[in-house]
Structure formats: C-alpha cells, structure tokens
Amino acid sequence: MMQLIRQELYKTFHRPRTYISFAIIAAIAVIIEVAMIADGRTFVDFALSGVTEQFDLQGNIINGYFVTYIILQSLIVNIPLLVALVAGDAIAGEAGLGTLRLLLTKPVARWQLVISKFAGSLIYTLALLLWLAIIALGLSLFLFGEGDMLNLKSDEVVLLLKDDILWRYLAAFGFAALAMTSVAALAVLLSVFSDNGIGPIISTMGIILFFTIITNLGLPSFELVKPYLLTTHMIGWKGFFSDPVPYDAMRDSALVLCAYTIVFVAAAIIVFNRKDIKS
C-alpha cells in the first residue's frame, strides 16, 4: 500500500497540472496583498461602513491577520475546485489514459487502489493548504505585521486581540484540512464513475457550488436542508474567529465532515469493486 501511495504522489507531483493549483493560490493571495497595500483604506471604509457610521475605528486595522482572513474568504470557493482538480482526475484520468487497466492487471486489490488514490489526493490537499498558510498568513504577517483583527460577520463585528489570534488560524487550517478531505473524497467517488478526467472535476465543482449557494442564500425554505449539507459544515473553520467560539456546533460539523468522507470513500470502493473496466 505504501508503494501505491508513493507512486501516486510521484505521479501527481510529476505532472505540470498539479503545480497550476499552487500557482493559482499564490496569484490570488499576492494580488489581494498588493491591493491592500495599494488601497486597503478604501476597502476597509467600504466594508466597515456599517460600523464606522456609529463608531470611530483607530489603529492598525489592515494588519497581517486581517488580510489573511480576506484572502481565505476569497478562496472559499476556489480551494475545493483545486482539490477536485487532482482528486477528480485520480481514477478517471487513469481510465482515460488507459493505465487504469494496466494497474488492475497487477496483483493489487481494487480497494487498495481507491484508498491509495484517496491518500494521494489527501497529501496533495494538505500540501496545498500548507502552501496557502505560508503564502497567505506568513506573507501577510511579514508585509502587514500583527494587530487586532476585525471580523465582519453578517450581523456583528468581532474584535480579536492580537495575542489571541494565531492559535485560531492554526486551528482553522486544521479544520479546513478536514473539510477539504471530504471534498477530495467526493471527487474520488465521482472519479470512479467516469473514464475521463474532466467529468468528475467539473461535477465535483458543480456540486460544491450548487450547495454553497443553498447554504448561503438564506432563504427560509433552505433552512430545513442546511444542516445536512456538506457545504454548511465546510465553513466551520470560520467559527474559530468568533467570540465565543461555538465549539459544540463545530464539533458537530467536524463529525458530519468525517461521516461524509467515510461514506464517499466507502461508496467509491464498493462501486469500483463491482465495475467492469472496459477502457
């Protein structure tokens, strides 16, 4: 199994496509950082106008923690796509190449193949998030320094004190890793059904986008389904930036994410086991 996983990683990191994801993340993060350097005030004034109408805000608002939050906010929809880019291609891409057939003529169990693909996607995802942490948090702190962080939510503003923030980010990245794991699992599952790489990638993206809209649209009729949606719980990392941190809700979200992940992977194994490989 380790052999399989090692090979998966070798394959993934030898493809130019993989590095596109890292480049995209860097590009988005850097663009936002540059924008904040050039004209952060305008953005802050606009975003916080509801508050500044009634209160005076002074001090280092545009600091590393604040900018990082903005970057993460911008990437909420993008990261799942980048995860799907590799995970969705995992099995379907090889089917398209024809190499899946080749792999399956080897004395390797099918479930091992699925798990190794999932594990490979997982490690890639973690690498991606690590990269994000460096280029968003690391670079922002370097450029903008530390400071108290303002978190603007839909119905309140939260102020977090400077020394109380770093642990939140580390925890948030951890939670995000869990969320992206479930996305990877979904992508791998869809990958089993297809014999070309593009289909599962787009399907995964479509599903995530669709349910993101339902989660965020706020229509009363959606409230019923919301707790069951993957996308509702994926955003759990934001809970770390609340005061107080809703640990109960987040623990539940984490469990839901785990459940989804397990279901997706199990389904992938079951379907793949029964599948006839014709291409």
Partner 1 sequence: MMLGLIRPDSGEVRIKGHQFTNANRHLLRHIGAIIERPDLYGYLSGWDNLRMLANLSGKDINSSRLTQVLELVGLRGREKDKVRGYSQGMKQRLGIAIALVHDPDLLILDEPTNGLDPQGIAEMRKLITSLSRDHGKTVMVSSHLLYEIEQVASRMLIIHKGKKITEGTVSELMDPDDTLFDLQLDMDAGLEQLLKESTWITSVEAMQPGSVSCRMHPDRMPEFSAWLVAAGAGIREIRSSHSLEAYFISLTHDAAHSAGTI
Partner 2 sequence: MNPFIRCIFSFIVLLLPFSVEAQQLSADDLFLKLRSRLEGVRDYVADVNMTIDVSFMRVPALKGKLYFKHPDKLKLERNGGIAILPRKSVSLTLNNLIPSGRATVIDAGQETVNGIRARIIKVIPETDESDIVLTRIWVDEHRLLALRTETTTRESGTMKMDLRFGKFAHLALPDQITFFVDVKELKLPKGVTMDYDAGGTDMVKKKAAKKSNKGTIRINYLSYKVNTGLSDKIFADPVKE
Q: How far apart are CA 128 and CA 277, in angstroms?
A: 32
Say which entry of partner 1, partner 2, none residue 102 contacts (CB below 5 to 8 A, set by partner kind): partner 1
Q: How far apart are CA 83 and CA 184, in angstroms?
A: 6
Q: Is 69 in the site for partner 2 (CB under 8 A)?
A: no
Q: Which of 107, 154, 221, 223 binds partner 1 (CB under 8 A)?
A: 107
Cβ-in-10-Å burial (0-12, 13-18, 19+) of 110 comes to middle
Per DSSP, 157 falls in state E
Q: Is 108 in the site for partner 2 (CB under 8 A)?
A: no
Q: Which of 14, 54, 154, 221 binds partner 1 (CB under 8 A)?
A: 14
Closest to partner 2 by CB, 54 or 221: 54
Residue list 140-169, contact with partner 2 (CB under 8 A)? 145, 147-148, 150, 152-162, 164
Say which entry of partner 2, partner 1, none residue 3 contacts (CB below 5 to 8 A, set by partner kind): partner 1
**Are 175 and 258 within 8 A, CB to CB?**
no
The long-range contacts involving 243-246, CB below 8 angstroms and separated by at least 24 positions, are 243/158, 243/159, 243/160, 245/168
Q: How far apart are CA 276 and CA 279, in angstroms?
A: 9
Per DSSP, 220 falls in state G
Closest to partner 1 by CB, 20 or 166: 20
Say which entry of partner 1, partner 2, none residue 197 contacts (CB below 5 to 8 A, set by partner kind): none
Q: Backbone phi, then psi, for 157, in 5-degree steps?
A: -115, 130
Minimum CB distance to partner 2, residue 152 (Å): 7
Question: Binding string, 195-214, against partner 2, x = CB under 8 A?
Answer: -----------------x--
Question: Binding string, 211-250, against partner 2, x = CB under 8 A?
Answer: -x--xxxx-------xx----x--xxxxx--xx--x--xx
Give the three-state DSSP class for 151: strand
Q: How far apart are CA 172 and CA 181, in angstroms?
A: 14
Say which entry of partner 2, partner 1, none residue 53 contacts (CB below 5 to 8 A, set by partner kind): partner 2
For residue 241, how many other CB atoms are within 10 A of its CB? 20
Closest to partner 2 by CB, 69 or 118: 69
Q: What is the C-alpha end-to-end distance of the chain, expressed in Å? A: 24
Count of positions (residues) in the chain: 279
The contact set with partner 1 (CB under 8 A) reads 3-4, 7, 10-11, 14-16, 97-110, 273-274, 276-278
The contact set with partner 2 (CB under 8 A) reads 50-61, 73, 76, 145, 147-148, 150, 152-162, 164, 212, 215-218, 226-227, 232, 235-239, 242-243, 246, 249-250
